[in-house]
Structure 1
């Protein structure tokens, strides 16, 4: 049942990474996309499988996929120094690109590029090679590793993580790490992950840990520590469900498999969000139809640590009926912190709210409310005469009379669905708001009771009963006939008396 279920909305979050740090590869190696548009950054890829040791001059080639011609494409080499700090070998160097002869099935354009690395100028190096491209004012980059000479320093590239100058990492019950691990001797790379809580984002990663060996890291120095041995492409997940919500410094320490000496270290300012938000609905639980819209407010909903920012609201309105529940409306969005119920409905309802935060944590609440139906108001007109309940009315001397209830009143939502039922002496004879009344043929009485029932779609109704009367048409002689008979009688009498008078005045002759 709707009243027992939360509406689950899947939130798809696409994270565009624009990293220039040699330790971070902001792009995935899946280069095909059928959804890229002008708002997407370009995609880049190497033709070679790097992580190799190069000697002499080596040509590095690759490609860029974009909806428009890239504004710029650059490459750069960064060396991993003995103290684990990246150092520029070259400044960014502009790349010339040319259209590719291969076709893109997704309607995008492909450009190719290449450049040459002189390994003799970079001896005994664990080096990062990074190519960056900008198109439509959006940038992306791709990185990999190569070795020259002899070096015992392995290297790691992490996919999908941002650097300190951009957006913050955000995690909930687990921390996923994917990337590629490289070492010249093809031995695994040891990785230690350590999370340290911080008061705020500004203080996170501000401490530069003077740690030279993985052996020098104790469990007391952080909220959690995890170790991995990695080589080649990898994907690992760290349980972080025990961490409380807040800001964290997420440290990564890398060493070779042969020695615990730390070769690389990197810190990421991170957000942990493990707690569910709190869903709150405020609003009236009873109203009357037509009294004004009901507004239910979820503005007091919150995330216990992160506040209201990023909360998403899913509203579900159902009607509670005897036959079950009926879904009426669903609304969802980060800006929809209130829900409006129009005042043109009535009945019993349940409004549920599912609040989710950016990490997918949710909370659910609901509120039941009722809107009382406003009954209709019956209006009766008989032969152009407005009547109210209990009135008595003598009908005009006609054979039929017009009945009109079309001026009956109700709320806008019920008005078009009003039903009008007419009864004579409490027996139903008509339905419809405009009818014609004929005196029942078998009724010899001079009065009758006319009842009007006006019914809305909620079966609420209003009635008017009036007494109608007529003149005794069966026993009385019409006035016109009476006048005619009197006139005829008067005329006959006048003629009769006139002749009699003339006869009496005729003179008699005397013999």
Structure 2
């Protein structure tokens, strides 16, 4: 009997131990089959940027994955107070795919994830982490480019934690860039306590879609109170329960509705030459980068653009020209200057180029000859006349024309010519006329006497006879006058007689 009781006790004890072991292992079995405590977001893509996130509520780690068509510029993660930055990173290398891990220590966050590409494209999403109340927020999916704007601009995005049954107040806020980011942050964050405050805010229509997306359209031409300049743009959002949020959009807005004030400088009158002059529009005033277009109207009425060697480049644009004023007359330089916003202005500069006429130089057998001189040429020789030393401005020197006239008849149109003894004889007049391409001219005239020729001998005899006759007449006249005076002197003088005693 005792043996039976002992056996029963052993069996009962074994059963109890097995039962206890099963109870202890059961929770382990349940834990092994429970899903992991992760939260995932769907992928969100806008402006060529994809963002997704994953939350581990055991390790309190938020993992963000992103891909971008153009390399990343920076990422920021902050909660409903943008000044409370949870994570930020500025890319140095060009990267198109990245993963970030960050710790949310208290496990609660209405986290704004904002990623910018180097081309200025922006994409934002909101990650609701934890069980605390999440304030209403908006994430921008489209913003105006960073270029200056003068017309319509638009923003688009998605709302988060917005109850469609609760009324919502929202506004777009502009803060002068010159005030500084920190000052604008302070002002925009306090917007609901100081509505209007120190910032420019406008009643802008926000178009809400059924899927909680929105768009904002604003024509800058209609907002006269917004002066030209660069602005931080922020938004402020508040529901009827006074839950609010705000943010500054990463991309600034440049408002530029004013045309460039052109400053076009250069001489208004110069002498025709090959010396270069500068036509300069580089001092044109505008707040953005400028683009220059030039048209040159020449004295003959034709028009052309500047040649490549006339363009004076500065950062890939041509704000000035280097011109050779080699054509006399009126030049007009037309500068059309356009800023980045598309504002445009036009200005003209008129330049009068005065022609400088040629200066004729004549040489006989390489000996320079003066205008108006006379030259006796020896009979029986050959003579070379040259105008090669004639001068003009360098641009006209190659275009000079020559005309040699002997006694009024053109005998050559070359810069030099040979005159042989049998071609002329006697006394002649030689003229040299030098003309440039503008019609300006200079002239030299000389007398030529061919010594030893028949004509000059005859002319010499005639001169000798004339001179002889003249001398004979002079002698006869002199003798006659002497005799006349001699006779008259005898009549005037009294006779002399000696005294008698």
Q: What residue number does 1:278 align with?
A: 261
Matched, 1:454 2:437: no
* Aligned equivalent of 2:172, options 187, 193, 198: 193
Tell me by how many angstroms 1:404 deviates: 1.4
Contact 2:47 2:141 in 1 (8 A): no
Matched, 1:180 2:157: yes
Matches within 5 A, 1:10-49: 29-30=47-48, 45-46=49-50
Partner Cα distance (1:195, 1:470) in 2: 98
Partner Cα distance (1:131, 1:327) in 2: 45
Tell me by how many angstroms 1:153 deviates: 2.6
Partner Cα distance (1:64, 1:453) in 2: 78
Per-residue CA deviations over 1:413-446 (Å, capped at 9, x if unaligned) read 22223222323333333222233234675x6x52
Tell me by how many angstroms 1:337 deviates: 6.2
Matched, 1:146 2:130: no
Partner Cα distance (1:320, 1:245) in 2: 38
Partner Cα distance (1:407, 1:365) in 2: 44
Contact 1:419 1:456 in 2 (8 A): yes
* Cα pair distance change 1:435/1:230, threshold 3 Å: farther
Contact 1:315 1:332 in 2 (8 A): no
Matched, 1:266 2:248: yes
* Cα pair distance change 1:61/1:282, threshold 3 Å: closer
* Cα pair distance change 1:74/1:324, threshold 3 Å: closer
Q: Secondary structure at the match of 1:414?
A: helix
Partner Cα distance (2:100, 2:231) in 1: 40
Contact 1:393 1:467 in 2 (8 A): yes
Gaps of 5+ in 1: 1-26, 31-44, 96-107, 163-168, 478-511
Partner Cα distance (2:199, 2:116) in 1: 37
Partner Cα distance (2:368, 2:150) in 1: 73
Partner Cα distance (2:147, 2:201) in 1: 16
Partner Cα distance (1:248, 1:120) in 2: 35
Q: What is the TM-score of this pair, normalised by structure 1?
A: 0.59
Q: What residue number does 1:245 align with?
A: 228
Rg larger in 1 or in 2?
2
* Aligned equivalent of 2:345, options 348, 360, 363: 363
Matched, 1:347 2:329: yes
Partner Cα distance (1:326, 1:94) in 2: 48
Contact 1:315 1:339 in 2 (8 A): no
Q: What residue number does 1:420 align with?
A: 402
Q: Secondary structure at the match of 1:413?
A: helix
Q: Secondary structure at the match of 1:226?
A: coil
| Greater RCO (Cα-Cα under 8 Å, separation 6 or more) | 1
Partner Cα distance (1:280, 1:240) in 2: 27
Contact 2:122 2:140 in 1 (8 A): no
Tell me by how many angstroms 1:359 deviates: 3.7
Partner Cα distance (1:392, 1:230) in 2: 103
Partner Cα distance (1:377, 1:205) in 2: 76
Matched, 1:229 2:207: yes
Q: Secondary structure at the match of 1:377?
A: coil
Q: What residue number does 1:321 align with?
A: 299
Gaps of 5+ in 2: 1-44, 458-501
User: Number of paired residues?
Assistant: 395
Tell me by how many angstroms 1:302 deviates: 3.3
Q: What residue number does 1:302 align with?
A: 285
Q: What residue number does 1:16 align with?
A: none
Tell me by how many angstroms 1:272 deviates: 3.5
Contact 1:397 1:471 in 2 (8 A): yes
Q: What residue number does 2:29 align with?
A: none
Partner Cα distance (1:88, 1:282) in 2: 51
Tell me by how many angstroms 1:375 deviates: 0.5
Matched, 1:470 2:450: yes
Q: What residue number does 1:5 align with?
A: none
Q: Secondary structure at the match of 2:270?
A: strand
Q: Secondary structure at the match of 1:470?
A: strand
Q: Secondary structure at the match of 2:205?
A: strand
RMSD of Structure 2 on Structure 1 (CA): 5.2
Partner Cα distance (2:335, 2:67) in 1: 48
Contact 2:277 2:324 in 1 (8 A): yes
Partner Cα distance (2:365, 2:421) in 1: 14
Matched, 1:287 2:305: no
Matched, 1:382 2:364: yes
Per-residue CA deviations over 1:50-95 (Å, capped at 9, x if unaligned) read 599999999754447889xx9xx997754x33xx546455x56999
Tell me by how many angstroms 1:372 deviates: 0.7
Tell me by how many angstroms 1:401 deviates: 2.3
* Cα pair distance change 1:55/1:179, threshold 3 Å: farther
Per-residue CA deviations over 1:192-216 (Å, capped at 9, x if unaligned) read 2133679855865553453449xx9
